[in-house]
Amino acid sequence: MALGPLEVNISQVGYGTLPVADRRLQTFNVHTGLVAVEADSTYDVLNVSGSGMFYSVFHKSEGIAPNYAQLFCNLDNAGTEKDKFHFDIFSVNYHGITTKDFYQVADFIVQVSAWDTTNNVYSVYSRGCKGYFANSLYFYLKNADTANSSNQVGEIWYFLYTSTKNIKLKPSQWWGQNVQELRKLIKQDYKECEAVIMDRYVINPDDPEDQQISAPRLQIIVPDWVDEKKIIERMIKEGIAEDVLS
């Protein structure tokens, strides 16, 4: 379905227009698998340069108390948020929602699917979120416990207003803080680039969760008329990517 410009309330900035004319709505998903988040540290989950909306979030944590397990988002560099657009384990604990069940919170549904204080295992879904962003989206996990490491999962479902050609690459490193610059570079040299995504995916999703391996992924979204081979060659030649992912 082709979309015209969309008027929305963008993060904390106010009302604005998402530049989505002549583009199509596509669904994306990022899933970290169970990853180690060391004491007093963060773990990047998703960086997007593009326009869209995230609508569902899953957060799981093992090994630390719920008040230390956090999943932050930042829309359009307007500041990190919880509660306003989604609930994480910290938010659920803060609001006293500590029983496995479904809850109506503001405009979205919170599902507590695990809450084991004996073994410190917690998991929370936020459904029906409306996190609109005009330029960028950033998610990261945080372990606020200064003494104990944790294992956490972050998963986000989101829409982007893009074309259909998706170039998936194995990056040489985590380029999350450079997605805006990469998008500008590609637009400058190849006329158009509708989104650049730095995220993670599970290499072996059919294996048990504690054996799954998480890997970084670079995605470049361009119109069908753009020559993807030239972009791939450029990314590999300049050391931004190592190979193409299926």
What is the average pLDDT score of the chain? 89
Strands (E), the chain: 2-3, 6-10, 14-18, 23-31, 35-37, 41-49, 52-62, 69-75, 80-81, 101-105, 108-116, 121-133, 136-143, 150-162, 165-171, 195-202, 214-222, 241-244
- Alpha-carbon torsion 219, 223, 227, 231, what sign? negative
pTM value is 0.87
Whether the Cβ atoms of residue 51 and residue 137 lie closer than 8 Å to each other: no
The pLDDT tens digits for 157-200 are: 999 987 678 999 999 999 999 999 999 999 999 999 999 999 99
Pair of tokens at residue 106: 């503001």
3-class DSSP assignment, residue 231: helix
What percent of the chain shows pLDDT beyond 90?
Answer: 77
What is the residue-wise DSSP string for 53-65?
Answer: EEEEEEEEEESS-
Domain 2-6+22-244, classified CATH 1.10.357, yes or no: no
Domain ranges of the chain: 2-6+22-244
Dist. CA 46–CA 195, nearest whole Å? 13
Given this model, what pLDDT does residue 22 score? 52
Nearest to 18 by CA among 121, 224, 159: 159
- What are the start-end ranges of the H helices in the chain? 89-94, 179-190, 228-237
- Integer distance in angstroms from the first to the last C-alpha of the chain? 26
The pLDDT tens digits for 136-159 are: 999 999 999 999 999 999 999 999
Whether the Cβ atoms of residue 194 and residue 50 lie closer than 8 Å to each other: yes
Return all residues near 118 (Cβ < 8 A) that are at least 6 apart.
Answer: none
Q: Quick check: 82 pLDDT over 90?
A: no
Average pLDDT value for residue range 32-47? 98
Return all residues near 65 (Cβ < 8 A) that are at least 6 apart.
Answer: 120, 145
Q: Quick check: 227 pLDDT over 90?
A: yes
